[in-house]
């Protein structure tokens, strides 16, 4: 059964006229990132139409927040609604659809996962490059509308551009960062050793109970999407230890400070980019003033002058955004509107 996101969208848009373009979903244990953040707005799931409070440890304080992370305004989803809690896929993907309609353009999903590949160790990070959906249902079933088509191409679903930046930031803070194929299962029970051996033969590198529905829905909504997994345990049959959810949260808690620094660096450094935009080339000569600002609805270059001389910077913002906010209120000598 489809869930209409418009009521939640209207509530958020009235409270936050200018939604940040970058969104991050904080999975199990990643909520430690919120400690010490300057939170601008907070909207608990309990007050958002169509949202439900998760029952899983590590997701209790579920909310949508707007906060400053790494000096940049970011919208954060703290907590998830899971399919194994009895929710429909329309409910599970509702937060993603709400953010997309509010103006988010790039979404990073995080999760805790079990390591299948032999070289994965507890504490490693994995940037997803692809996935195997073994949840048993497609998240786009019964979700189509006049503007959202269900027949969505999932090639190159996970953004290589964002993966490169996540990898760079992760290694800077001492993490071993891999690339891998994520296996999504329904849960809530953990897998059997036989199932893990099967998934390994099918090409799976890590396994979890989330992320794929949100990633697929993000593609349907036209978002650029990436996913970062934290290996909290080795999958069934990979060690002699019993798999416990409490241990998963403990491992994430121990790495909380480094994860927070990683996310802050990522938010500070990643450039926002509208997915599937055509590249626009501007012939700007040496006479161009440093304060030339261009408003376009696609990827575009900006020729800027700094203490190191002239350099090209690439930006993408919707028409109508005030570029002066990026440059600390500097004067715009010329504003061009270009149709592309």
Active site residues: 28, 59, 82, 84-85, 112, 209-210, 233, 245
Tell me how far apart the 2 most distant CA atoms of the chain are, in Å: 68
Please give the DSSP secondary-structure letter assigned to residue 252: H
Rounded Cα distance, 119 and 195, in Å: 19
Q: What's the CA gap between 284 and 274, in Å, rounded?
A: 22
**Cα-based distances in Å from 303 to 177, 245, 281, 314:** 34, 51, 11, 9
- Tell me if 177 sits within 8 A of 124, measured CB to CB: yes
What b/e string do you get for 104-133 counting C-beta neighbours within 10 Å, with b at 16 or more?
Answer: bbbbbbbbbbbbbbeebebbbbbbbbbbbb
3-state secondary structure of 80: coil
What's the count of helices (H) and strands (E) in the chain, helices before strands? 8, 13
Say which residue the tokens 């600390």 belong to.
328
| Lookup: tokens for 219 | 């593609």
Crossing angle of helices 94-102 and 212-220, in 10° steps, is 30
């Amino acid at each position: 059964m489809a869930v209409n996101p418009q009521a939640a969208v209207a509530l958020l848009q009235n409270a936050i006229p200018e939604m940040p373009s970058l969104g991050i979903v904080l999975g199990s244990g990643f909520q430690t990132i919120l400690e010490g953040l300057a939170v601008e707005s907070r909207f608990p799931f309990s007050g958002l139409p169509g949202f439900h409070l998760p029952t899983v440890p590590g997701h209790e304080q579920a909310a949508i927040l707007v906060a400053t992370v790494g000096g940049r305004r970011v919208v954060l989803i703290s907590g998830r609604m899971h399919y194994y809690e009895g929710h429909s896929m329309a409910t599970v993907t509702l937060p993603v659809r709400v953010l997309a309609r509010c103006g988010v353009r790039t979404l990073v999903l995080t999760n805790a996962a079990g390591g299948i590949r032999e070289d994965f160790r507890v504490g490693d990070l994995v940037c997803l490059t692809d996935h195997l959906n073994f949840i048993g249902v497609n998240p786009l079933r019964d979700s189509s509308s006049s503007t959202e088509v269900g027949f969505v191409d999932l090639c190159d679903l996970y953004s290589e551009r964002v993966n490169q930046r996540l990898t760079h930031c992760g290694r800077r803070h001492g993490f071993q960062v891999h690339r891998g194929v994520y296996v999504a299962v329904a849960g809530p029970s953990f897998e059997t050793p036989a199932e893990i051996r099967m998934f390994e033969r099918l090409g799976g590198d890590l396994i979890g109970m989330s992320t794929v529905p949100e990633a697929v829905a993000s593609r349907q909504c036209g978002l650029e999407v990436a996913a970062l997994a934290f290996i909290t345990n080795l999958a069934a049959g990979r060690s002699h230890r019993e798999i416990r959810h409490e241990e998963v949260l403990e491992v994430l808690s121990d790495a909380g400070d480094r994860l927070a620094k990683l996310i802050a660096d990522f938010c500070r450094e990643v450039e926002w980019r509208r997915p599937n935009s055509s590249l626009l080339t501007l012939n700007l000569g040496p006479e161009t003033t440093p304060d030339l600002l261009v408003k376009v609805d696609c990827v575009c270059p900006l020729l800027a002058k700094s203490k190191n001389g002239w350099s090209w910077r690439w930006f993408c913002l919707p028409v109508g955004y005030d570029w002066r906010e990026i440059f600390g209120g500097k004067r715009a000598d010329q504003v061009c509107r270009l149709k592309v």
